[in-house]
Amino acid sequence: MPLEFDILTLFPEMVAGFFSSSMLARGQANGCIDIRAHQLRDWATDKHRKTDELPYGGGAGMVMKPEPIFSALDALRRPQSKVIYMAPDGVPLSSQLARELAGESHLVLLSGHYEGVDQRVRDAAVDLEVSIGDYVLTNGSLAAAVLVDCVSRFIPGFLGDEKSLTEESFMTTFLGFPQYTRPADFRGMRVPEVLLSGDHAAIAKWRQEQQIEKTRRLRPDILNEDPSI
């Protein structure tokens, strides 16, 4: 059974191209995933298909109304569904969280716009809130697309080459090692000799050393190390 994604957004066209290209298109074709992007406005009932209103208590911007969102979720959610609200103040998306979500059967991703959604949606209809980073996007559609992409990579068969994920167990702890391809000498820049040696043990050792060094230099927080050491 494919992992199903239903995305609720005011801009389904923003993510349509992303989902119909490359690996995500292939994942849908080979039955690993099923992605549907829905126009939230379709659940608005008034003549103007309004989905936002001024905030109670005043302040700048608009807030997304609860009724269309609750109606959409009533239509889309099933007993086993997990409803995720994409929000800059959610829990950070990580490889570990993506791996956990890949074990679900149905994810409903709600992407916000304006100043976000009415708090009652978050309190009563959402199972998990996820952020893709400490910055604010103009809407959550791209964030939902990022989550679909990185969760899909953990679905068995999605990557085709299972080795890519095995190698990644080290990669989720450390940053990646440098990759090279032909030619061995390009404009005087030579590929490190060890990679041309055919000595697999030496290559594995070199790659691990590179990963540790790069992680220590760029992301000492991952190693729980003080950068000044």
For residue 165, with 0-12 CB atoms within 10 Å meaning exposed, 13-18 middle and 19 or more buried, which class applies? middle
Contact between residue 107 and residue 151 where contact means Cβ atoms under 8 Å apart: yes
Q: Kindly state whether residue 131 participates in binding ligand ADE, applying the rule CB under 6 A.
A: yes
Question: In the numeric block, which tokens belong to residue 193?
Answer: 């000799």
* Strand segments (E) across 112-228: 128-131, 185-186, 189-190
Q: Which residue lies nearer to ligand ADE by CB, 135 or 182?
A: 135
Q: Kindly state whether residue 135 participates in binding ligand ADE, applying the rule CB under 6 A.
A: yes
Q: Which residue lies nearer to ligand ADE by CB, 137 or 191?
A: 137
> Using CB under 6 A, which of 37, 86, 107, 121 touches ligand ADE?
86
Contact between residue 81 and residue 55 where contact means Cβ atoms under 8 Å apart: no
> Using CB under 6 A, which of 140, 150, 152, 177 touches ligand ADE?
140
Q: Which residue lies nearer to ligand ADE by CB, 30 or 138?
A: 138
Q: Kindly state whether residue 143 participates in binding ligand ADE, applying the rule CB under 6 A.
A: yes
Q: Which residue lies nearer to ligand ADE by CB, 68 or 90?
A: 90
First-to-last alpha carbon distance for the chain, in angstroms, is: 49
> Using CB under 6 A, which of 31, 61, 103, 133 touches ligand ADE?
133
Least distance (Å) from ligand ADE to the CB of residue 143?
Answer: 3
Least distance (Å) from ligand ADE to the CB of residue 85?
Answer: 8
Question: In the numeric block, which tokens belong to residue 132?
Answer: 């893709």
Q: How many separate helices (H) and strands (E) can be counted in the chain?
A: 9, 9
Q: Kindly state whether residue 69 participates in binding ligand ADE, applying the rule CB under 6 A.
A: no
Contact between residue 5 and residue 148 where contact means Cβ atoms under 8 Å apart: yes
